[in-house]
Amino acid sequence: MDPMTEFLAGPQARQAFALRVALNPPFAIDVRDGAALTVIVPVRGTAWVAAGGETQSVNPGEAATVRGPDRYLVADSPDRSPTVVIGPDQSCQTPSGDHVEVTMRHGVRTWGDREDAETVMLIGTYQSDAAVGRLVTAALPRLVAFTAEEVDPALLEMLHRELTLQGLGQQTALDRVLDLLLLHLVRAWAARPGTAVPGWVSGNRDPIVAEALSLLHREPAAPWTVAELGRRVHVSRATLAARFRSTVGQPPMTYLAAWRLALAADRLSTSADTLAVIAARVGYSNAFTFSTAFTRAYGSSPSAYRASQRGGVKPGLHRPAGQVG
């Protein structure tokens, strides 16, 4: 599987936060929730999204993605001052500190001034910052606006319907629809001419390299060598090494090492497995060797990394040395 599949199949895909936001101008939502990635879809009215020094307008039929964890602004005007601040765990306050979580709630999944407000947006947030998810989120620019031609209207309608109608399994349905919409948007972004896509995307453009990547993703713990990988994809060692480096931008074993550590970081964040178990699952012979490699790449030991993720502190949000992409 490629990193996008891993991201959407992992535990973070079951922790998406989805909400219908209905507001009358003037409004400006200062979002400081530290989420990994957010998808914004206007249903009625125009939303202005500001992130990383860039501001984009998004209209009905269009969409935007915002890569975390830094704060961003969603407003009715590009020069509007914040009227609401969204903090960790989706806490909602006015700039003066008054809590408005309850007073602005309208039903289970609608929040804002009133349900029939002038501006209505669908917002889906991936809260997790697990490392495999960052392989995807780190590939995207801080802010991407998608045109109506790049967005499938059927997916937008499906998301809107699931957010406004109560039904059995609604959370699961929302997660899957949001996953599909995100996949659709990442594909649209990667297909843009001149886009500097990461190695795990560009590698899929070469059938030999794509097959090799699939093997590495599917069997990360296997005792891979370049020669064995070449044998499995029916080319010589030299041919695979040259095509892999040319397409992905790094040698196969360098890519594999980063992929293994990314998988390990994800498991440290989301499981109670021992270091020995995690080390074996990602291809390390023992916990000591794994710990040394992880510390060198991530700047902290596996135990310290796990503690920081469980405690809500996120020191590893920078791209670790050698990270895939």
Q: Which tens digits make up the pLDDT trace of 122-172?
A: 999 887 666 667 677 777 899 999 999 999 999 999 999 888 877 777 778
Give the pLDDT confidence score for residue 192 in this predicted structure. 87
Supply the range of the domain harboring residue 155.
3-190
Cβ contacts of 208 within 8 Å, gap of 6 or more:
233, 235, 239, 240, 243
Q: Which CATH number covers residue 179?
A: 2.60.120.280
What is the Cα–Cα distance from 324 to 104, expressed in whole angstroms? 42
Please, which contacts does 101-107 make with residues 24 or more away whose CB atoms are closer than 8 Å?
106/22
Q: Specify burial of residue 176 (Cβ count, 10 A radius: 0-12, 13-18, 19+).
A: middle
In this structure, are 184 and 96 located in the same domain?
yes
Low-confidence ranges of the chain (pLDDT < 50): 11, 312-323
**42 lies in the same domain as 182:** yes
pLDDT tens digit sequence for 293-311: 999 999 999 999 998 876 5
| 55 and 136 inside one domain | yes
- Whether 126 is covered by a domain: the verdict is yes
Q: What is the distance between the alpha carbons of residues 269 and 302, in angstroms, rounded to a whole number?
A: 10
Where does a domain end: 190, 217, 237?
Answer: 190
Q: How many domains does the chain have?
A: 2
Burial grade of 31 (CB within 10 A; 0-12, 13-18, 19 or more): buried
pTM higher than 0.75: yes
Question: 322 lies in a domain?
Answer: no
Q: What is the pLDDT of residue 313?
A: 40
How many CA within 13 A on the CB side of residue 94?
7
Same domain for 84 and 25? yes
Return the C-alpha torsion angle 204, 210, 214, 220, nearest 10.
-100
Write the CATH number for 232: 1.10.10.60
Distance CA 47, CA 204 (A): 35
- Cα separation, 278 vs 44, in Å, equals 47
Q: Does some domain include residue 323?
A: no
Residues 162 and 204 in one domain: no
CA distance 119 to 104: 15
Sheet holding 110-112, edge to edge: 110-112, 16-23, 119-126, 37-44, 63-67, 143-146
In a domain, residue 139? The reply is yes
Residues 157 and 243 in one domain: no
